[in-house]
Structure 1
Amino acid sequence: MAQNLKSKDRLRPVDLARGHGLSTQAVRNYEEAGILPAAARTPHGYRTYTPLHAGALRAFLALVPGHGHRTATSIMRAVNQGSVDEALRLVDESHVQLLEDRRTLHAVERALRDLHAAPAPETPGGTFIGPLAGMLGIRPATLRKWEDAGLVRPRRDPRTGYRVYDEAAVRDARLAHQLRRGGHLLEQIAPLIAQVRTAGGLEPLEATLHDWHTRLSTRARAMLTGAAELEAYLRARG
């Protein structure tokens, strides 16, 4: 195969590496991982790459920002194995996940708007599980389940052992309630409430939500760039 290549079409590992700020070992690793098609060998055993390999490398590096390294690797491996439908399925899965992330963000924003519109009543010293459950229209057992999942963190009265929900715990319970009504699972809600705690409340979370929007938009545009390079590679493969 290498003997039939024109000299201008022969690329060394260093030729691919330099154009993308990679090491030659990285290029070889990509080939071994199936990200690049298998290289031809010279009579002396040296790898010989072609513009097709360069296209594969461009496609992979363009896919990574939008899909992540693991999924991008699986996409390229599927294409190089002739399983284009599987590669496109993986692309579709990433788009579904992006859409789900957008829905989650919008649900959080709606929940926060609802909390701002209906501030919780102030209860000096905190409130107990029964009154809080009644305020939310849920059973006390649900609050205990949310506590087990890390969504709410009431303190215990040192004399009675009863759960006492301070202002932050009430806030977390109300946010969890709003998100559960939106159909979100407990394991999806827990990290969102953790963000509220880290931010120090609802108001500082606005900057986090803005950053979240920016990350989703950046990822969506990266997917477009990756799709264009992947399509170019598919066309080059014929």
Structure 2
Amino acid sequence: MIDVRWVWVFVDTVEADADRSWEFWSTVTRSALAERRGPRQEFSTLVPERGDAWVKLQRVGEGGGVHLDLDVDVPLPEAAAEATRLGATEVHRESDFVIMRSPAGFTFCLTSWSNAGSASTQVREGQADLLDQVCIDIPSDDYSREVDFWEALTGWPKRPGSLPEFVSLTRPNGIPLRLLLQRLGEPSGTARGHLDLACLDREATRSGHVAAGAVVVSEHEFWTVMRDPVGRVHCLTDRRP
């Protein structure tokens, strides 16, 4: 287990689609785009009206999707060694971050909580909807091992989800993002992730997303599957923000 003090979700978008993606997510989360940063101006952050940020944006050369950054309260070499012991693979290391892949191939980074500017407060009151969950979609052959990995890495106990194919991890108070793990129908492949929003009025949120450029993929009893303007899947759920 590592001591996770804050969780960031990165929305990764290929260069050609980044401006459309950034504008969409800024609009639907009612957030301001922070000043671009990085050697190629490839990073930004969604800054909420109140509280600390927990969503970052990145332009990438290929692929795209979402990944997690875990702010940890131990030295990064120690955190990376623990993640490796539990089954992760180290991909790349710098002084201020380590890129890892989970046993099923989901990308995440270990970053230092001690860096200046680490966040601590998320405001949820008064929100019509909130981007508050990352769902890791896992091929069935790797599902049990992947669930055990994330429970062991974070120390957050697992609990059954609303359907047999879901398991959620019980986050500590103050952590901005929930983690949901979904067993896919496909037996093999690489785990990936998607964003989930909690909605007080799912129909109203859906209308706002469509107006901003998203399309509805499918409707279910408790959630709606959407695609954002660049084709990235996300879900609107009936959970309370």
Shorter chain as denominator, the TM-score bin is under 0.3
Q: Which has the larger radius of gyration?
A: 1
Bigger relative contact order, structure 1 or 2, given CA contacts below 8 A and separation 6+?
A: 1
Which one has a larger percent strand, Structure 1 or Structure 2? 2
Using the size of structure 2 for normalisation, the TM-score is 0.19
Which one has a larger percent helix, Structure 1 or Structure 2? 1
